[in-house]
């Protein structure tokens, strides 16, 4: 009887711990979902890695260059939507819409992008 109660307790504990870890990993609380910011610049690097892709973008701001870090979805999900590791080539000019960081730092969550040739990817039409 005691063993069965202990197993139930441990199962319940592991479930609660797992929920906490998963919710912490998928938290987007650092981004402001009520704002959309459009930035334009030159791709420094496109990091195609789990759990999320990252776009490093050089952006001119008041005569000085800033490096923006833009978080995207998982490579698995994005590849099913036509993305490839070569989607954002280093040196390419691109405009990107993001939900900016709440603290005002140079970063955001990817919404959509428009390339110099007019192609769009993601949810570019969102304002």
DSSP class per residue in 23-54: HHHT--TTB-TT--EEEEEEEEEEE--SS--E
Q: What is the pTM of this model?
A: 0.78
Q: Which token pair is 60?
A: 């001119």
Rounded to 5 degrees, what are φ and ψ at 71? -90, 135
Instruction: Reply yes or no on whether the pLDDT at 55 is more than 90.
Output: yes
Which residues, 6+ apart, have CB-to-CB distance to 30 below 8 Å? 101, 102, 103
Q: Indicate the pLDDT class of residue 24, thresholds 50, 70 and 90.
A: very low
Instruction: Reply yes or no on whether the pLDDT at 45 is more than 80.
Output: yes
């Amino acid at each position: 009887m005691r063993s069965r109660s202990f197993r139930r307790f441990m199962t319940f504990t592991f479930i609660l711990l797992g929920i906490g870890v998963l919710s912490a990993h998928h938290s987007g609380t650092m981004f402001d979902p009520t704002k959309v910011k459009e930035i334009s610049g030159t791709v420094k690097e496109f990091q195609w890695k789990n759990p999320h892709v990252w776009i490093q973008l050089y952006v001119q701001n008041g005569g000085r260059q800033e490096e923006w870090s833009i978080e995207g979805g998982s490579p698995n999900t994005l590849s099913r939507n036509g993305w490839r590791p070569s989607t954002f080539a280093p040196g390419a000019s691109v405009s990107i819409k993001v939900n900016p960081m709440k603290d005002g730092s140079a970063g955001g969550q990817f919404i959509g992008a428009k390339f110099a040739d007019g192609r769009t990817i993601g949810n570019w039409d969102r304002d």
